[in-house]
Amino acid sequence: MNGRTHTRLHAAIAAIGQPVPAATWGHRICAACVTCLPGVDAVAVTLRADIDSLEIFGSSCDWGQNLEDAQYGFGEGPARDAYALRAGEPVKSVQIERDPRWPIFGAYAATVNAGAVTALPLRLGAAPFGSLDLYSAGAQAISDRTRDDATTLTALTGRALAEENDQAPWRIRSEVVYHDVDTACGMLAAHSDYTLADALARLRAHAFATDQTLSCTAADVIAGCVNLLPDAAD
């Protein structure tokens, strides 16, 4: 490790340990991480209470944030798998567009020049609660050194978030919170036999069919512009 990379790694560690100002904590962590991880073009941190929930705690750039948003909209992708598999191992792909695990996300990734990804699970003990995700424009694996540094930064980020959640949870302010999606799912479930999972699947299907984001579809449902109840015609 050269001196510049070493300095940047310490800057990333410092960002993880500095939750104030809270509104920019997630972005500062991700921006610092991307500068000290060679071969990585974007970093994002996601938080989950369960497989169908998502908050984007922070991202280094709009490109990274959009990749997380797309995975939530499609219901598939490396960040979701890093949480769902619960094995504690990174989820990796050196060519997202050809990865059979995520056919829909892979097609989207090709349109935005996302080549490779490594999603590292955030864990509290054995329980996952999100991921730290590394995206590269090129289709190549990150180096062993980059992977080791990212693993360290992920562990430190997970510990810092867990401590803040215990001591000062109001300081955990995510960049993106999907309140409209939660509200729309609740509305659909309340007026039908849908479970919340069914309602989310219905939102996703309509968003995909109409080439909208999940958030836009949810906003249309809340506004009464779209009726996705079982007895409504699409």
Give the tens place of pLDDT for each residue, 45-93: 999 999 999 999 999 999 999 999 999 999 999 999 999 987 789 999 9
Is pLDDT at 227 greater than 70 in this prediction? yes
> pTM of this prediction?
0.93
Kindly state the tokens that stand for 100.
């059979």
Give the model confidence (pLDDT) of 197-225 as tens digits: 999 999 999 999 999 999 999 999 999 99
132: left (phi over 0), alpha (psi -120 to 50) or beta: beta
What is the percentage of the chain residues whose pLDDT exceeds 70? 97
Bond before 21 cis per omega within 30 degrees: yes
Q: In the prediction, which pLDDT does 36 show?
A: 96
> Are the C-beta atoms of 162 and 122 separated by less than 8 Å?
no
What is the percentage of the chain residues whose pLDDT exceeds 90? 90
Give how far the C-alpha of residue 183 lies from the chain's centroid of Cα atoms, to the nearest Å: 20
Give the model confidence (pLDDT) of 126-179 as tens digits: 899 999 999 999 988 999 999 999 999 999 999 999 999 999 999 899 999 999
**Dihedral of CA 174/144/142/4: which sign?**
positive
- Assign domain 3-176 one CATH number from 3.30.450.40, 3.50.7.10, 3.40.50.2300, 3.40.120.10: 3.30.450.40
Q: In the prediction, which pLDDT does 86 show?
A: 75
Q: Where are the domains of the chain?
A: 3-176, 178-223
Q: In the prediction, which pLDDT does 125 show?
A: 86
Is pLDDT at 2 greater than 90 in this prediction? no
Q: Phi and psi for 54 in degrees, rounded to 5? A: -160, 140
Is pLDDT at 1 greater than 60 in this prediction? no
Give the CB-side neighbour count of residue 82, counting CA atoms within 13 A. 28
Q: In the prediction, which pLDDT does 47 show?
A: 98
Across the chain, mean pLDDT equals 94
